[in-house]
Amino acid sequence: MKNRWLLNLVLLVVIAGLGAFLYLKPGIHKPKPAAKLTTLKAADITQIKIQRGSAAAAQLVRTPEGWEMRAPLKLRADQTMVKTLLDSLQEEVLGSFSAAQPNLAQYGLKPASAKLWLNNTELEFGGTEPIHNHRYVKIGNTIYLTGSLLYFRVNHTPLWWASKRLLPQHAHIIGLQLPDASLTLKGVKWQLSPANPDISSDAIQSLIGNWENAQAISTNTIGKGKPEGEVAVELAGVRQPLRFAILKDPDFLVLARPDLGLEYQLESGQRGSLLVLKPGKAAHPKTNKSPVPRPHKPASHPGR
């Protein structure tokens, strides 16, 4: 009995020692976390500036209402695009060396193909090294080798960062002038001119909803498309209507804001959902009445 007790004690000591060995792993060093391109946190960034080559810079500022573009135009920024950019900041560093080089051009850094300022921190993007295609990024006096995800997020025209929404978020339309019809909200009902009994209230509400939620594929400065019509949108709480010129384009629906010098490029299929009131009678309201059963009629059989 005593021998069994001693054996159990020895086994307990051995198990405890093995557990301590596995936990502490003497002689084995845990790998350090991979270094990041920047230690800046997205929540701490209040100003962003992006410049590609010699093009005008895009300047973005965080406000209590969200990100706003301050240059090249004063517009609401595309919140999703800015978030995507900030989510890409934690690129892993794959190598680094001093930027005190006699010829930065060999790394595509003189001049840099793109620059990004996060608050007061400047990142300069160069070319890629030939073996693994890791990108050169200069920060201060150091050149880092990293992936290209952040560079691809930055490498856009300045107006890429403008909001793609045609109307301000939470806009409430009270009047809409289309090329062939106009809508005016009177109390809680829409008044259509010229009147058309084939246009249902559902069709009108659908058109208004399409405008209030419409988003473009891209935004840019106004191009050379010729105007072929105009849309005026009256919004609650806004004195002057927003005016959109419909620009002629064979592939897209292009709506321009001359007051902003900005055009929105939309899918061509949105022409029908934004510019046309489609006739359609309102659906009959459903009732809770059960259908009246019809008397059964025996089927006739030919030859009888």
The beta-strand segments (E) located in the chain are: 47-52, 58-63, 66-71, 75-76, 93-98, 114-118, 121-128, 135-139, 142-146, 173-177, 182-186, 189-193, 218-221, 227-235, 242-247, 252-257, 262-267
User: What b/e string do you get for 197-212 counting C-beta neighbours within 10 Å, with b at 16 or more?
Assistant: eebbeebbeebbeebb
Tell whether the model's pLDDT for residue 199 goes beyond 90.
yes
Tell whether the model's pLDDT for residue 302 goes beyond 70.
no
Q: For residue 283, what pLDDT is reported?
A: 40
Tell whether the model's pLDDT for residue 38 goes beyond 50.
yes
What is the DSSP track for 84-111?
HHHHT--PBEEEEEES--S-GGGGTBTT
| pLDDT tens column, 165-175 | 999 988 999 99
Find the mean pLDDT for residues 7-31. Answer: 52
CA distance 99 to 145: 12
Q: Model's pTM, two decimal places? A: 0.73
The better pLDDT of the pair 140, 293 is held by 140
Q: For residue 1, what pLDDT is reported?
A: 56
Q: Give 18-21 contacts, CB < 8 A, sequence gap 24+.
A: none
Find the mean pLDDT for residues 76-95. Answer: 92
Q: For residue 242, what pLDDT is reported?
A: 97
Q: Are 198 and 280 in contact (CB under 8 A)?
A: yes
Tell whether the model's pLDDT for residue 177 goes beyond 50.
yes
Q: Which of 217, 193, 219 is nearest to 277 (CA)?
A: 193
Q: Are 93 and 138 in contact (CB under 8 A)?
A: no
Taking CA atoms, 185 is separated from 137, 166, 192, 204, 239, in Å, by 55, 20, 9, 11, 16
| pLDDT tens column, 129-146 | 999 999 999 999 999 999
| pLDDT tens column, 93-115 | 999 999 887 789 999 999 999 99
Q: For residue 16, what pLDDT is reported?
A: 58
Tell whether the model's pLDDT for residue 234 goes beyond 70.
yes
Q: For residue 103, what pLDDT is reported?
A: 86
The domain locations on the chain are 42-161, 173-275
Provide the pairing of β-strand 114-118 with 93-98.
unpaired
Q: For residue 285, what pLDDT is reported?
A: 39
